[in-house]
């Protein structure tokens, strides 16, 4: 497995990480615990060293799963987790009542760190992200709290998830930011407007979540695909049958390149991301070993300048239909 370094830090990780949220929530019922443990350990055997979780996933159960699966392999892995939500309230992205409040007060951050360390069965959190920016807490205070945790040896590196450009700059001035996590893929290209240039300037790595468009870019679904009633894609505007039908043009583009490269649409989507910058480390999630192997195969695909130009020119003619999130989901879960 190829390695990449996140920005100007010393944090070296596998070129592809593993997003673990879907093992516990959001995409239908949680996966079987023993099967997920086996999958996590298989990922390590295949050279994956970067694993992404959060206290909010479950909540709490995903960190516990990661702790049980990876604590015997601690010296081989980098574990990222997140703080920033008040999980004493109802954690349900589709709930009509009971929302998840944001809470990045320094005292709360420190309590979350202690609890995450126990669930993850580790002595230090490798990468600690603010999950969502809290408008009620100055980002300087947030960065200062994480700086304290780093000085205490409880955290190694500081990250931000879906922050604005000025938030990144202000935080970075207090405690260097090692990585920013944002959605980025061929059908979500918002980071290209300002974020990529800012990260390059400051020497910060980018960790794209949902690099396969929540499964859509794999080519395994169409407008007739039905989701489990608990699957949060049911409430995403981009996943209405009409939007999916319109957005298949992007999958067809990936499929065309994939045939030529003797690969799959998912592999081309990931290879495209890897080709954008050497400090980009996508974290596709899966519950299946076959999908894990397929995703990891993307690191072996070389897209030439001509390939990338072809993808760019064709993608420019495709308008992606549907917003990433609905308003309620944005308010309740931050995503």
Would you name the residues annotated as active-site residues? 57
> What is the sign of the dihedral through the CA atoms of 324, 325, 330 and 332?
negative
Distance (Å, whole) CA 295 – CA 97:
38
**Residues near 205 by beta carbon (within 8 Å), at least 6 away in sequence:** 4, 5, 6, 7, 9, 11, 178, 179, 180, 199, 279, 280, 281
Token representation of residue 132: 């969502």
Token representation of residue 303: 């897209």
Write down the residue that tokens 């870019």 correspond to: 217
Whether 20 and 66 have beta carbons less than 8 Å apart is answered as yes
Nearest CA to 184 among 193, 176, 175? Answer: 193
Which residues are paired to 14 by β-bridges?
Answer: 3
**Residues near 76 by beta carbon (within 8 Å), at least 6 away in sequence:** 44, 49
Nearest CA to 287 among 13, 15, 18, 2? Answer: 18
Cα 67 to its chain centre, rounded Å, is 18
For residue 24, the SS3 value is coil
Element (H, E) at 86: strand 85-86
Nearest CA to 76 among 53, 52, 54, 48? Answer: 48
Residue 118: φ, ψ to 5°? -70, -45
Residue 257: φ, ψ to 5°? -65, -40
Distance (Å, whole) CA 5 – CA 13:
6
Tell me how crowded residue 323 is: count the other CB atoms within 10 A of its CB. Answer: 13
């Amino acid at each position: 497995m190829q390695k990449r370094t996140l920005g100007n830090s010393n944090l070296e990780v596998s070129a592809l990480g593993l997003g673990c949220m879907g093992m516990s929530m959001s995409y239908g019922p949680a996966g079987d615990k023993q099967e997920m443990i086996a999958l996590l350990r298989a990922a390590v055997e295949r050279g994956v060293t970067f694993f992404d979780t959060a206290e909010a996933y479950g909540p709490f159960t995903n960190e516990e799963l990661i702790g049980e699966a990876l604590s015997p392999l601690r010296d081989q892995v980098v574990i990222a987790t997140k703080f920033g939500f008040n999980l004493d309230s109802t954690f349900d992205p589709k709930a009509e009542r009971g929302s998840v409040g944001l809470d990045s007060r320094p005292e709360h951050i420190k309590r979350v760190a202690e609890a995450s360390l126990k669930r993850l069965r580790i002595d230090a959190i490798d990468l600690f992200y603010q999950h969502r920016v809290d408008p009620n807490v100055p980002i300087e205070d947030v960065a200062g709290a994480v700086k304290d945790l780093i000085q205490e040896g409880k955290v190694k590196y500081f990250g931000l998830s879906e922050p604005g450009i000025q938030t990144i700059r202000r935080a970075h001035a207090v405690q260097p930011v090692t990585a920013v996590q944002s959605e980025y893929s061929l059908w979500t290209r918002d980071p290209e407007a300002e974020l990529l240039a800012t990260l390059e300037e400051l020497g910060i790595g980018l960790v794209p979540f949902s690099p396969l468009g929540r499964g859509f870019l794999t080519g395994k679904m169409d407008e007739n695909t039905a989701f489990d009633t608990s699957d949060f894609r049911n409430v995403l505007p981009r996943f209405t049958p009409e939007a999916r039908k319109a957005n298949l043009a992007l999958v067809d583009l990936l499929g065309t390149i994939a045939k030529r490269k003797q690969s799959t649409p998912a592999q081309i989507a990931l290879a495209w991301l890897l080709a954008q910058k050497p400090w980009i480390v996508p974290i596709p999630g899966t519950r299946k070993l076959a999908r894990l192997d397929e995703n990891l195969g993307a690191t072996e695909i070389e897209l030439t300048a001509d390939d990338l130009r072809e993808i760019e020119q064709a993608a420019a003619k495709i308008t992606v239909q549907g917003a990433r999130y609905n308003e309620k989901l944005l308010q309740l879960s931050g995503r």
